[in-house]
Amino acid sequence: MKVTVFGTGYVGLVQGAVLADVGHDVMCVDIDAAKVAALQAGQIPIHEPGLAPLVQANHAAGRLHFTTDAAEGVAHGELIFLAVGTPPDEDGSADLQHVLAVARTIATHMDRPKTIVNKSTVPVGTADKVAAEVRQTLAARGADIAFEVVSNPEFLKEGAAVADCMRPDRIVIGTSSAAAERQLRELYAPFNRNHDRIVLMDVKSAELTKYAANAMLATKISFINEIAGLAERLGADIEAVRRGIGSDPRIGYHFIYPGAGYGGSCFPKDVKALIHTAQSIDYRPEVLLAVERRNDAQREVLAERILAHYGPNLRGKTIAVWGLAFKPETDDMREAPSRNLLQALWAAGAQVRAHDPVAMREARRIFGDRPDLVFCDSPMAALDGADALAIVTEWKQFRVPDFDRVARALRDRIVFDGRNLYDPAVVARHGLTYESIGRPAAAPKSTDAST
């Protein structure tokens, strides 16, 4: 089928490449000319495992095109995906200006019926707004052309976006048009072969499903973080509690890892937007408000831990930081808990030596050159001359460090772990003090770092 995708961010680019890979003829449109030129040259603007070869192969095979020409894009696809950003407005509501601008563009250029498929995460009622915008623009042109607006939210995770998109758990399609349903079933047939993953519903339910999914996951995380705080204060071990509750299939093991708080481009923004939606119709979202408050507090926990240990003045102290990205396998630092940590450390006068396998370039872009931030080529290099280590992202490169070297390198022999990567007893055996989330602190068992 001929498909056009507006927006070459995470969602649009991955979706476009994956649809091309199963044989569809896909044109990706973006207003950013530099980005389009780079994509045409096979350069991928984001770090996403498996994406570069997928884009390059399908581009070379002539199934994946990139353009800045909106008219060409509209002419190309019978299905037109909206995958542009919906950044939060000042009040937390989703800013629809990009979505509505593309709707106008489509209506300006279309000369035959189109099915507009919304992939962006947008508040309930947006499909109606898109339809109104298209209708109005068509009317202004004096054109009478049929169109449908379908909601088809995306559930991919950064760092696993290609795999998620190739093997979706579910394909939510919100439409009451039989013709649009048929088109989307045909489009997704290659992903729907073994058992039916399509969940068909009305447009508004599909729009709400996306927010409900992210808010539910954010709730699980804030919940376990709250219990971790309790465990810490009561002398219990959250990792034992986590395994204990996860074994109940109604709860499950997924998304109950305590940590330094959730970040990224989705959870914080979507929880905020859903709160805003609820409040805009005078419905008080008690649970969502608590989820957000808990996470705001959780993002400060690691810094608070360090300040509780050293006191409020960190002048003269150097803290090594492992991990800057909001999670492993991405260079994305949007709403990353590392940002809270770094700001708090700097505010207290500390020096930071940071290492992240892929996000250092992004960190440099965000923070610029500053004397209290040194980027280091390896985890161990970050420890040179450091007093303590703080871990914010659970990259697999950090999972089995040489603890003896860590103990020798750190002046104060202390590790603050925001992701509970290690067994406290093991760390303590290597002569390190170990503070993690929701577990009793472990004091060094031996001062002999060679044991």
Residue closer to ligand UDX (CB basis): 258 or 401: 258
Among 66, 147, 223, 267, binds ligand UDX (CB under 6 A): 267
Told to check if 214 binds ligand UDX by CB under 6 A, we report yes
Told to check if 158 binds ligand UDX by CB under 6 A, we report yes
Give the separation between CA 277 and CA 269, rounded to whole angstroms.
12
State how far the alpha carbon of 124 is from the alpha carbons of 93, 156, 212, 215, 346, in Å: 12, 20, 11, 14, 41
Given the structure tokens 């499903």, which residue do they identify? Answer: 209
Q: Name the minimum Å distance from CB 161 to ligand UDX.
A: 8
Told to check if 403 binds ligand UDX by CB under 6 A, we report no
The set of long-range contacts for 266-269, using a CB threshold of 8 Å and a minimum separation of 24, is 266/121, 266/214, 267/214, 267/217, 267/218, 267/221, 267/295, 267/335, 268/292, 268/295, 268/335, 269/86, 269/87, 269/88, 269/94, 269/121, 269/335
Q: State the number of binding residues for ligand UDX (CB under 6 A).
A: 19
Told to check if 12 binds ligand UDX by CB under 6 A, we report no
Binding mask 294-333 for ligand UDX (x = CB under 6 A): --------------------------------xx------
- CA-nearest of 399, 451, 395 to 428 is 451
Among 3, 171, 208, 266, binds ligand UDX (CB under 6 A): 266
Active site residue 28: no
Among 6, 81, 223, 262, binds ligand UDX (CB under 6 A): 262
State how far the alpha carbon of 30 is from the alpha carbons of 21, 264, 298, 318, 362, in Å: 20, 22, 36, 43, 21
Tell me, rounded to whole angstroms, the distance of Cα 444 from its chain centroid: 36
Site for ligand UDX in 127-156 (CB under 6 A): 154-156
Which one of 28, 165, 266, 376 is the catalytic residue?
Answer: 266
Residue closer to ligand UDX (CB basis): 30 or 48: 48
State how far the alpha carbon of 357 is from the alpha carbons of 129, 300, 343, in Å: 42, 23, 21
Q: Name the minimum Å distance from CB 190 to ligand UDX.
A: 21
Told to check if 73 binds ligand UDX by CB under 6 A, we report no
Residues that bind ligand UDX (CB under 6 A): 154-158, 214, 217, 221, 255-257, 259, 262-264, 266-267, 326-327
List residues with catalytic annotation. 266
